[in-house]
Structure 1
């Protein structure tokens, strides 16, 4: 803890300097799982990238003290040593504890445990004036609740205490084929009512074919002879391709999956986004090429390449949580308007809305019913990720249309993705008065608001001058070359978010 306290002391000192000089700053983590445009100024950041340690685990209390920059794979690895497991583990190994708490992060266990922030018991935070406080449901409760989905706009997170559950080494996974959008939504909601299920999510491969995937934590299968399936080795098939092959059989199928393989089953291929890379580079999308190019197809590498290449502007990328009865109509809209598949379905607990950036309640129609009143039921998140080759103008228009449909149906975006709202539209969805009162109470008015952090800035890249600048313009102006440039930058490694100084 001494090293932690020393680092926090440095963070406090820098924040106090910015507060005294009234200098705006941003919090720098060293990496991101966001697809928004990001470029940090070295002279206006608080660097918390070294806060990346699991400080302690209390096996008896089933709790852990964790710094915010600990990624999911490191967290799982350390808790497993103590015979424990986080209740909610995001599907990409590089997503961090801090991002999960003050951002929006959930997975297939979120129907049971809520978003990741619901697993946090207390938080150590440096406020905007440099004051160090601890917040929980019994101490600074208003701050603790406000930190959910606050994106670092109420203070700088330096440590959390989080809840853990007993470890079991396997997941008994069951694949339930679906044959229509309505059928998929019905099965998804049905399986969340089973107390035996620890994990539930779904994939739609087309309007007429999908799968609801349920999982139960087990140490050994009660059914002898179940096959063991893995997804982490280069020669293992990507999870969604495996699930699609089982769904096509049209029968319920069971298998055993080692716990880490299940938790990070979408890492290889980043769900199915890696498929589009093969198509872009005109490489056959077959098992052998997936094995040979496996290194490039993990989420950490792909996010780095995505930012370097500028491909965020060539894709529609949204996760949107809807009142459960409105998720189906949104999928129908996506099918008719864009025809984008696969789609990811993730059921969420009813408290999910309060974890998502301080929104207003939703009071309009759900499932076709016009009953007045605040919606207080479960949610289903729809992940729509796919290419949309177009001009920037058309790209923005299409995404604004999606956001308009989303608002109509009471949906809320996971704010890792590019936001296309106007500021007026933003504050129609989010509770400005309540949020600003909270910021004022905790002296956070000098920090950027959530809107300041997520509002769309377009892509304004400084290519520089001279021959190097000309070459960069040529590369970024050609989609194939920019793709290779993204791969080069990802393999080379290093920082891809901080602005370079002139001496670099």
Structure 2
């Protein structure tokens, strides 16, 4: 049956992961404060341009991709296409500027969301959308997509980005915003590096408030769950955060939050949930099924990182003993396990494949179809909990061609993460196909970081590509230099079988 990772590997990996993350954080911080000593952004971009121009001579028909190792991706598959493509090294990991007048932060793509948010908070700011896992990079959130519990208000991560800079296939730098190269500005997000190499991103920032007033509301039927989620998402008082955790078909907790100042906080209701010995967020939230509706005040940084220690609810797969109170006191301070290191070990020693009953998928479907989505997941996986986050997929200032098939309506990200123990489980591939079919038939989308088995025709139905393909044609050498999106994210593409 292979090596018992939970028993032998992960306990050893845990302290290594902590050291790796700590060293990387402090090196990034030191690099930020000494950024003027190790070259300018323009000099680093020039090195990317030089490599692209060398490809024009040395490429021998190969298409380009970044040299970032496969194991550093959050995808659950090894990115085999990197073995056959022309790899371009992109050493761009600096925060370039915090412009307090324009309320913009400009960063290079390898900066992680965890580091950037801490840096902004230290300066009195934060981002409108802060995805929950610290290791996610800004480049990944732009090129692969990202959302979180404020996305019902601000939309996807790319919607808080005001400008992109790329190195195009001809080696030239292109700036894209709402007024300049606007077609590229709207086509670049979720293009997975198939339009050019991202070299900087300008992101809107907002004033930091120190606490989130968080209300937990339990629901005891699936209809109550959907009704409560819909009501709180569209509430006239404008919640800053809306999120749901579904524990079974009939039980869930819907959480809503508003950012507040220090003087608005009821001190006896403060919960510093980010402390190392505190219960993992999903475990803690489950208690409100018995406790009933409750209000707490959570330090904002703790709120942003609420899913970190439990990696949502995947950490028990690797460390099944780690949530008991003694383990939390002794080892909670070195959590979470870095998934990238886990990927490296899997790729290096066991081929990078997960168990056949492992599910790691996000499907974004219209609010009106969420009940059917929950029931489908229960029937074919029986994986619990499920994550629910409402999000807007369309921005009125964007091209009409980007309007979702379901229209300008509220969508919900339904996250299915974990091992299925159903005796009737059909296997990972057959289950994925059922999810994909459901998303296609209900005007939904599949998050592309995960595996996809869709045909090219199905993919083009789900992700209408008119704008994307027109940009590929307009940018010189783009079609020659980079694979199509489908050829890069499909299973055959990720295995390196479709990259020509």
Q: What is the CA distance between 1:58 and its match in structure 2?
A: 1.1
Structure 1 pair 273–173 and aligned structure 2 pair: CA distance change class (3 A): same
* Equivalent residue in structure 2 for 1:418, among 451, 455, 466: 451
Q: Find the counterpart in structure 2 of residue 325 from structure 1.
A: 368
1:26 maps to: 65
Distance 1:131 1:53, change over 3 A: same
Question: Match for residue 107 of structure 2?
Answer: 66
Q: 2:310 aligns with which of 253, 262, 269?
A: 269
1:445 matched residue in structure 2: 479
3-state SS of the aligned residue for 2:277? Answer: coil
Structure 2 gaps of 5+ residues are: 1-35, 347-351
Kindly tell me: are residues 240 and 431 of structure 1, through their superposed partners in 2, closer, same or farther at Cα, counting changes over 3 Å?
A: same
Aligned-residue Cα RMSD (Å) equals 2.7
In the alignment, which of 13, 17, 26 is matched to residue 54 of structure 2?
17
Matches within 5 A, 1:203-218: 203-218=245-260
Q: Which residue of 2 aligns with 1:379?
A: 411
Task: From 231, 236, 247, give the equivalent of 1:190.
Answer: 231
Match of 2:339 among 292, 302, 322: 302
Alignment-derived partner of residue 312 in structure 1: 354
Which residue of the other structure, out of 230, 252, 260, is the alignment partner of 2:301? 260
User: Structure 2 length normalisation: TM-score?
Assistant: 0.82
State which of 223, 235, 246 in structure 1 corresponds to 2:288.
246
Task: Give the unaligned 5+ runs of structure 1.
Answer: 363-373, 462-504
Q: 1:146 to 1:54 in 2, by over 3 A?
A: same
Q: CA deviation at 1:244?
A: 0.7
Match of 2:287, SS? helix
- CA offset at residue 293 of structure 1? 4.5
**Alpha-carbon distance in structure 2 between the residues aligned to 1:354 and 1:291:** 49
Match of 2:385 among 331, 342, 361: 342
The Cα shift of 1:361 comes to 4.2
Q: Which residue of 1 aligns with 2:11?
A: none
Instruction: Report the counterpart of residue 142 of structure 2 in structure 1.
Output: 101
Residues 287 and 457 (structure 1), Cα distance of their counterparts in 2 relative to 1, 3 Å cut: farther
Change (3 A) 1:406 1:307: farther
Distance 1:41 1:207, change over 3 A: same
Q: For residues 391 and 423 of structure 1, what CA distance do their matches in structure 2 show?
A: 29
Pick closer, same or farther for the CA change 1:163–1:286 going to 2, 3 Å.
Answer: same
Residue 340 of structure 1 aligns to a residue in which SS? Answer: coil
SS in 1 for 2:310: coil
Tell me the SS of whatever aligns to 2:415: strand
Question: Structure 1: how far apart are the matches of 2:322 and 2:122?
Answer: 40
Aligned to 1:44: 86
Tell me how far 1:223 sits from its aligned partner: 5.4
> How many pairs does the alignment contain?
442
User: Residues 199 and 422 (structure 1 numbering): CA distance in 2 closer, same or farther, change over 3 Å?
Assistant: same
Query: How much does 1:460 deviate?
Result: 7.4
Distance 1:354 1:323 in 2: 21
Contact 2:63-2:85 within 8 A present in 1 as well = no
TM-score, normalised to structure 1's length?
A: 0.81
- Residue 112 of structure 1 aligns to a residue whose secondary structure is helix
For the residues of structure 1 that align with 2:167 and 2:436, how far apart are their CA atoms? 34
Q: Alpha-carbon deviation of 1:388?
A: 3.6
Q: Residue 248 of structure 2 contacts residue 385 of structure 2 at CA under 8 Å; is this kept in 1?
A: yes
Pairwise CA distance, 1:32: 2.0
Q: Is 1:222–2:264 an aligned residue pair? A: yes
C-alpha contact 1:91 1:266 (8 A) present in aligned 2: yes
Secondary structure of the corresponding residue to residue 445 of structure 1: helix
Q: Deviations over 1:292-336 (max 9, x none)?
A: 44467415x134214533353441111111011111111111122
Structure 2 residue 471 is matched with structure 1 residue 399? no
Q: Where does 1:114-125 land on structure 2 (aligned, <5 Å)?
A: 114-125=155-166
| Whole-angstrom distance in 1 between the partners of 2:493 and 2:426 | 11
Which residue is equivalent to 2:211? 170
C-alpha displacement of 1:349: 1.4
Offset from partner CA, 1:408-467 (integer Å, 9 cap, x none): 112201111111213332223233454322211113202011112211149979xxxxxx
CA-to-partner distance for each residue in 1:75-106, whole Å, 9 max, x for gaps? Answer: 11221232111111110001111111121100
Seen in structure 2, the aligned counterparts of structure 1 residues 56 and 241 have a Cα distance that, compared at 3 Å, is same
1:187-209 deviation line (CA, Å, top 9, x unaligned): 11211223342111110011121
Per-residue deviation at 1:291? 4.2
For 2:470 and 2:42, how far apart are their aligned partners in 1? 30
Change (3 A) 1:19 1:430: farther
